[in-house]
Amino acid sequence: MAAGSISSEKIDLLIYGPVRPILENGFSDHFVVHKAETRGDLERLTPAIREKIRGVAVTYHTVRADKESLSQLPKIEMVASFGVGYDHIDAKYAAEHNIIVTNTPDVLTEEVADVAMGLLISTLREFIKADRYVRSGLWQTQNYPLSVGSLRDRKVGIVGMGRIGQAIARRLDASLVPVVYHSRNPSKDVSYKHYPDLIEMAKAVDTLMVIVPGGASTNKMINAEVFKALGPRGVLVNVARGSVVDEPALVQALKSGTILAAGLDVFAAEPTVPDELKAMQNVVLLPHIGSASVVTRNAMDQLVVDNLKSWFSGKAPLTPVAETPFKGR
């Protein structure tokens, strides 16, 4: 294929997961677009169609492009994933089979950081509870009680210091809140104190904001030991993946007063949320809306389209993940 030009042969693509307008309409006459919202839909595609598919747009993190799915597509060259996290993609299998995987970083960084900061403040200052207080008419009879939590006199430990972690840290800087962080390796891009040990950082702060990738290496890393180290003033905010937090341990920590409160945008078995969390007044629950604005989701969809079109024009992928770096054709 000549660099910079789409092949004259039509290219078969699969939209795997929910179909949205930019994804459905983003490809020119040079492409033939097939659709499969579920694994069952994929398996119902005829063998002749599966044989032809060369690119896949995975459109949501609950749609798993694992070995079993990818192995049904013998000519696949690229998986363009919607979202910055890609633990639902078997990137190891992809690398072993010369399949490029891309994600959608940068275009959602500021949006997710906005939500993380808003969730932290809402949790500390009890915005949701206070809103219900006004709606119930109670304010007409007595003033709302002082919130126990406050952003003042706090120190935040960010778990993960990638693009979004750094954007959250900038917002905390502007709010005059001290920041430290934990990650596997120190980041060259920041001057905040790095803690190689998560427990030691939890002991040194009273607030944890979690923004690490999902997957086996981070599964339940925020556990009972971390909550004990965080202590009774402790607040957890999770805008990463639900799998990163040991959810039963979190419920117990909140019930027992081991920590003060939690703000959660993600859960272990979405969209199911434990009834115990729903019943708690010291928890703010969001339906995984970190990047969920029209402008940002459109930009993410467009980047999925642009990655596929760039690749099949003979160019480099725009945002390949670390496991499948572009090394030329």
What is the per-residue pLDDT for 81? 98
- Catalytic residue (one of 270, 276, 297, 323): 270
CA 246/CA 274 separation, integer angstroms: 12
- Give the tens place of pLDDT for each residue, 233-275: 999 999 999 999 999 999 999 999 999 999 999 999 999 999 9
Q: How far apart are the first and last CA of the chain?
A: 10
Q: pTM score, two decimals?
A: 0.92
Residues in contact with 237: Cβ distance below 8 Å, sequence separation at least 6, in sequence order? 116, 119, 120, 123, 207, 208, 209, 210, 262, 263, 264
Residue the block writes with tokens 């969390």 = 277
- Catalytic residue (one of 20, 241, 247, 297): 241
Q: Classify domain 11-105+294-311 at the CATH topology level.
A: Rossmann fold (3.40.50)
User: Comparing C-alpha atoms, which of 186, 243, 232, 248 is closest to residue 210?
Assistant: 243
What is the per-residue pLDDT for 7? 52
- Catalytic residue (one of 288, 297, 323, 329): 288
What is the per-residue pLDDT for 2? 37
97 is catalytic: no
126 is catalytic: no
In CATH terms, are 11-105+294-311 and 109-285 the same topology? yes
- Give the tens place of pLDDT for each residue, 180-198: 999 999 999 999 999 999 9
What is the per-residue pLDDT for 28? 87
Q: Does domain 109-285 have CATH number 3.40.50.720?
A: yes
CA 225/CA 221 separation, integer angstroms: 9
What is the per-residue pLDDT for 329? 73
64 is catalytic: no
CA 76/CA 87 separation, integer angstroms: 19
What is the per-residue pLDDT for 8? 60
Residue 26: phi and psi, rounded to 5, are -85, -5
CA angle 217, 230, 192 (to 5 degrees): 70
Q: Produce one character per residue of 287-305: b if its CB has 16 or more CB atoms within 10 Å, e if not.
A: ebebbeeeebbebbbebbb
| Residue spans per domain, the chain | 11-105+294-311, 109-285
Amino acid at 278: K
User: Comparing C-alpha atoms, which of 140, 138, 118 is closest to residue 292?
Assistant: 118
CA 133/CA 128 separation, integer angstroms: 9
CA 59/CA 307 separation, integer angstroms: 13
Q: Residues in the chain with pLDDT < 70?
A: 1-8
CA angle 110, 116, 117 (to 5 degrees): 90
